[in-house]
Structure 1
């Protein structure tokens, strides 16, 4: 249950979409456009993966980035 709640909480990374104008653009790739979806942030999420206490958070964030990346392919 705790891991599930942490994974759901990682969806708050999408709050950085509120900084964009327009907030939603169906043709925009989130990866490297929004601050928390940047390559630097993704590298930080990869580093978090190697810290045992942060691993569940890192997995949630990396999975989120993977699903957002799929939008870039279509």
Structure 2
């Protein structure tokens, strides 16, 4: 069940956000929200790159609380930066839920 929830929050929920909040341009917005998953490229700097029981939040550089403050600022900027902010914060929220489930 946690895997289903994780992938729904990464792929399904952005679709819901795009269709409900950005009905006219939902395809473009959905693509932007999906592209924000590139934030996971910071996992490549970790050693080991993948560790099943590691919490991403505050471990990887783009998953830190400092980075999240910047993502919140994005919400108040013009499109597409506000959409990128939504996607990045949704990603952090999803990873935070994963961290909670690991406990």
Aligned equivalents of 2:92, 2:35: Cα separation in 1: 14
Q: Which has the higher contact order (CA 8 A, sep 6+)?
A: 1
Residues in 2 aligned to 1:47 and 1:58: alpha-carbon distance in whole angstroms: 8
RMSD: 0.7
Q: 1:8 aligns with which of 30, 34, 53?
A: 34
Output the TM-score relative to the length of structure 2. 0.69
Where does structure 1 lack aligned partners over 5 or more consecutive residues?
none
Which of 37, 44, 55 is the matching residue for 1:18?
A: 44
Number of equivalenced pairs = 74
Indicate which of 48, 64, 69 corresponds to 2:91. 64
The separation in 1 between residues aligned to 2:92 and 2:78, in whole angstroms, is: 20
Shift of 1:71: 1.3
Runs ≥4 residues deviating over 3 A = none
CA distance in 2 between partners of 1:43 and 1:60 (Å): 14
Please say which structure displays the higher CA radius of gyration: 2
